[in-house]
Amino acid sequence: MKDEAIKQLMNREVERQNRGIELIASENYPSKDVREACSSIFMAKYAEGYPGKRYYGGCETVDEMETLSIERAKALFRCRYANVQPHSGSQANFAAYRAMLNPGDKVLSLALNDGGHLTHGSPVSFSSADYTFVHYDLGNDGRLDLEIIKRRLHEEKPRLFLAGYSAYPFAIDFAAMRKIIDDYNAQAETPCLFMVDMAHIAGIVAAGLCQNPCDYADAVTSTTHKTLRGPRGGLILTNREDLAKKINFAVFPYSQGGPLEHIIAGKAVCFLEDSKPEFRAYMQLVLDNTKACCDELMKLGCVCSGTENHLFLLDVLSSFGINGKEAQERLGEIDITANKNMIHGDTLPPQQASGVRFGFAAATTRGCTKEDAKEIAHIIYDALKGEADKQKLISRVQSIVSRWKNVLELEA
């Protein structure tokens, strides 16, 4: 690297990530093989279109590579069709909506304050500008309530029901949702389609540790960089041939031009890595570590959501009398990275929030154990309680990460 300014920034970021504990639930560390694919010569090739139907010459090799990526995605998630071109999860959602909806159509999704995503109807997102979003809430226990969903479905009569969550810590019964929609459609004048945004739980799905939404939904979208541990990018899956054609058109030429073939190569590597038994073992450890940390915090008297996946929510307002923004900053000062997050029934605005979201996918990739996760819970508790010496907390963090792998030396 001859650009000294960028080189210095890269080195600083490597040092920051190696020094700290990454607990943002949407982050992870790709393997050296994934990073090598993403920095390959594929980045130099313009390849508008799809394998065998390109608008440029010289695409013979990228056609083979993208086809391989598609086939690996289909095998990993056990579905018939896959589009690996979306640049991000948001663009995957954009294309999926376009394939299934007309402008202004109604979509029923989880209330954003209860864990929905920006592209699930936020006022600042294209989603609310292009479509009419209405919402269902979680039950009083902070869990999905199928009776609420059924009632809202009949009240609103949407064209699309969306199951997809960025801060939901429990297992999701996609089969039960499918039955509710089928029962509704048996009486409805206009049938309701079913879409799942599995961006957060895609790795759990790939490992076979939860229900596969591809078995139940008309379309499934995802990112590839969270629990899948691949490059930053998007993915759309379906078992419907008619919908697959619409999805392909909605991605290209409707919303994107040339695909990022180097990122698609990284996705192919990731899909192969995620098909191995080692990945299933990793994903199980992510679940175990997340639960260990959450349970330990509750033993210490904290108000937590509980967890059945890779993340949980800590109510810092009830537990420590501080808001999520302040909690995030306190943890950042001792090299623990997390993010403020609204919780069910939150009374604070999203800029402050009453909670913090924690996830263990990234930490587990580096080598976090259940004992480490329990110790991390005690460090979080001491930091947020505000009575411990900051330098001592940093030393405790360093003691843990000293046993972990370097972020640039990670194998699959």
Q: Which residues are catalytic?
A: 46, 48, 197, 223, 226, 232
CB distance 371 to 379 below 8 Å: no
In whole angstroms, what is the distance from residue 28 CA to residue 50 CA? 29
CA 143 distance to own-chain centroid: 19
**The token pair that represents 12 in the structure block:** 């600083």
CB distance 21 to 401 below 8 Å: yes
DSSP string, 247-281: HHHIIIIII-SS--HHHHHHHHHHHHHHTSHHHHH
Place of tokens 């590579």: 65
171: helix, coil or strand?
coil
In whole angstroms, what is the distance from residue 13 CA to residue 18 CA? 8
- Residue 136 carries which DSSP code? E
284: helix, coil or strand?
helix
Place of tokens 């695409």: 59
CB distance 116 to 135 below 8 Å: yes
CA 334 distance to own-chain centroid: 25
196: β partners: 163, 220
In whole angstroms, what is the distance from residue 213 CA to residue 254 CA? 26
- Residue 367 carries which DSSP code? T
